[in-house]
Amino acid sequence: MPDQTADRAELRGDCERCFGLCCVALPFAASADFANDKQAGTPCPNLRDDHRCGIHARLRQQGFNGCTVYDCFGAGQKVSQVTFGGQDWRTSSRADARRMFDVFPVVRQLHELLWYLTEALALPPARPVHADLRRALEKTEELTRRPPEQLAALDVGAHRQEVNVLLLKTSELVRAGSGARGRKKDRRGADLMGARLKGADLRGANLRGAYLIAADLTGADLRDVDMIGADLRDADLTDADLTGAFFLTQPQLNAARGSAGTRLPRSVTRPVHWAAQL
């Protein structure tokens, strides 16, 4: 049975225990995030024979911003070391390699759900649904350990919907006890691209799935905000207060801009590239 109180070390990407699956299994198109096209199942030209990135220290300078904001939530090492027992796609048959590449995105989605469920269980206001959250966590963990054939056939969307019901209840409970004054702001799925929200009081708001691309959130109060799925690409979080913001992931934060004065929840770390933006 998973330990819900432990830290989420196994839900963070560990490239040393992976065979560069994200650099092979996933496709990308030439854009502001990627310097060139790559088909699914084709190794990135920057991937070395030892499964390390040849330009890791220069990804942003070389036009691969998309790589710097990606996190597999530990799915890479799970698929590499557990699902396929340490089997390297480079030395496997083409059929086995294809199975690895098909399974990886499925496990990645499941691991993202494990991240949210584990966080939800650490939120005291969500105590009324902790029992249901634990059951969902155990079921999701069990799914990640199924054999490749079952994982490839899994209806992840249906499972996400089941888990999402619990995450919505968690959000309501946490935001209701946030201490925010007045009516809680519901900006779920809102189009806030480029919005001028400097110094805005958004405490206890629901920003689930909101489009905050290039939004100015300088000095904004984002305490106790539901951030699940919010698009923070190029959003300015300089001196913003995200204390207690929940369901905020490292990839979301890595896609944003911030400063030494940006206050963050303990579940994430300050992106290294923020220092270069000052």
Q: Where in the chain is the domain with CATH 2.160.20.80?
A: 182-278
Whole-number pLDDT of residue 131: 98
Separation of CA 118 from chain center: 13
Whole-number pLDDT of residue 182: 55
Please state, in angstroms and rounded to a whole number, the distance separating the CA atoms of residues 205 and 252: 17
Whole-number pLDDT of residue 4: 41
Please state, in angstroms and rounded to a whole number, the distance separating the CA atoms of residues 64 and 22: 14
Instruction: Give 193-242 pLDDT, tens digit per residue.
Output: 999 999 999 999 999 999 999 999 999 999 999 999 999 999 999 999 99
Please state, in angstroms and rounded to a whole number, the distance separating the CA atoms of residues 225 and 42: 39
As given in the structure block, the two tokens for residue 22 are 């994200």
Fold (topology level) of 182-278: Pectate Lyase C-like (2.160.20)
Residues in the chain with pLDDT < 50? 1-6
251 burial class (0-12, 13-18, 19+ CB within 10 angstroms)? middle
In 3D, which of 268, 185, 233 has the Cα closest to residue 69?
A: 233
Whole-number pLDDT of residue 20: 96
